[in-house]
Structure 1
Amino acid sequence: MLVVFAHSTSGPTVATLHRGDGVVLQLPGYDRKYRVPHDLAHFATERTFEMSGGVFGSIAAGAVFAGMRVLSGRPRHDAAARSRLVLDGCKQSLGLAELIAGMVHHAVETGVPEQAPALVRKAWGALETGEPPWPDERAAEAARVLSELAGDFEAAGSVRVTWPDHLVAAVPPARGIRRGRRGRT
């Protein structure tokens, strides 16, 4: 999935997502106060941590968040139901992605990217006991990637990135729908 982050005419950042199914979506940012776009932090962190159930993996699977709009293409006949299924199935991983991306974003936004591993560890400790499932190097890499993308964004006013196909969220089966043929009586 191609993602283009750019400044919008109204101020905040806008991400334009070109999904594999031909649908082009717009994801508005709500980050006027930040130098580094928050959704760019999600992208860098989720890709580096290989979070298929985060914001971008969910969108690639068919989720549409509030505020998003279809720019072009033809959504599936069951697009709204599919979006609900994906969002319900990814609820926990979306929360984790928000927490971890927030820590990486904070480290880069404040100009101290080397603090990302400690912030991620601290955030993990607020959720779970024990060590995080990722090495500190993963958080450091996410901060490095975000710093590079933020620099490109500041210099050019936009940045084009690709979301990997292997990081698309799984679509849970619909509940309450029986599949297959019914037995004859």
Structure 2
Amino acid sequence: MQLTFQHDPRGESLTLIRRADGAVFTLTSYSRKWRVPHDLAHAVTERELGIADGIFGVIAAGAVFATMTQLEGKTRYDAKVRSDRILKAAKGVGISEAIAAVIHEAVEKRRPAPYAEVRESWGVISQDPCPYSDEEIDRATTVLRELGEQWSARPEPLEFPWPARLVASDPKRTRVRAR
């Protein structure tokens, strides 16, 4: 999957999503108050921390959000059912929302990598120890800071390749055959 973050004339950002299945979507981001687009914060956080079932991992698997518009490609006959199934199984969307928000805020406010804040957010989600090391949190923060600077300095679109390994699972409904 390929993501292209584009400047929207209204002050927002627009993400062009080219999925491996040939479908092309736009995703409107409502983040005018931020210097760095919130969807870019999601993409960086999910990619750098390896969250396969976050926002962009579920999109890669076939999920479609209400803020997405399909521009190209054939719509699957079961697109809605498939999307719902993938979203229902994905636990990483909530994790991504929490962690990306913390990293995004640190970048926006020009603070250092938010190690303690990420662990605190994780603690709200799970009782398990936070799986992200200081090195991973630092890398996500640094990459978002660098891409945010590129985004702010240039009007050109920002290309963001999505790793093929970060795709949410699609728990296809299995049918039990009567014998």
* In 2, Cα distance between equivalents of 1:104 and 1:110: 10
Distance 2:16 2:89 in 1: 24
- 2:26 maps to what in 1? 26
Residue 110 of structure 1 corresponds to which residue in structure 2?
109
Which 5+ residue runs of structure 1 have no aligned equivalent? none
Letter in 2 for 1:143: T
Q: Secondary structure at the match of 2:26?
A: strand
Shift of 1:80: 1.1
Q: How many residues align?
A: 178
1:122 matched to which residue of 2?
120
Secondary structure at 1:165 match in 2: coil
Query: Which one-letter code corresponds to 1:154 in the other structure?
Result: S
Q: Deviation per CA, 1:21-59: give whole Å up to 9, x if none.
A: 110001100100000110000000000010010000000
Corresponding residue for 1:40? Answer: 40
Is the Cα contact below 8 Å between 2:3 and 2:16 reproduced in 1? yes
SS of the residue corresponding to residue 30 of structure 2 reads coil
Q: Secondary structure of 1:161's match?
A: strand
Instruction: Give the counterpart letter for 1:46 in structure 2.
Output: E
Name the CA distance, whole Å, in 2 between partners of 1:126 and 1:82: 29
For the pair 1:75 / 2:72, whether they are aligned, the reply is no
Where does residue 144 of structure 2 map in the other structure?
146
Aligned to 1:178: 175
1:127 Cα shift? 2.8
On the 8 A contact 1:117/1:137 being kept in 2, the answer is no
SS in 1 for 2:27: strand
SS at match of 2:114: helix
Distance 2:110 2:166 in 1: 29
Q: Percent identity among equivalent residues?
A: 40
2: CA distance between counterparts of 1:108 and 1:59?
A: 25
Structure 1 length normalisation: TM-score?
0.91
Cα deviation per residue 1:154-184 (whole Å; 9 max; x = unaligned)?
A: 122220011001100000122xx6266x53x
Measured in 1, the distance between the counterparts of 2:92 and 2:130 equals 14
Instruction: Tell me the SS of whatever aligns to 1:17.
Output: strand
| Matched-pair contact (CA < 8 Å) for 1:5–1:16 | yes
Structure 1: which 4+ aligned runs deviate by more than 3 Å? 128-131
**Structural RMSD (CA):** 1.5
TM-score by length of 2: 0.94
Q: Distance in 2 between matches of 1:39 and 1:129?
A: 27
- Report the residue type matching 2:124 in the other structure: A
Give the C-alpha shift of residue 130 in structure 1.
5.6
Q: Distance in 2 between matches of 1:82 and 1:171?
A: 8
Alignment correspondent of 2:93: 94
Bigger Rg over Cα: 1
Residue in structure 1 matched with residue 53 of structure 2 by the alignment: 53
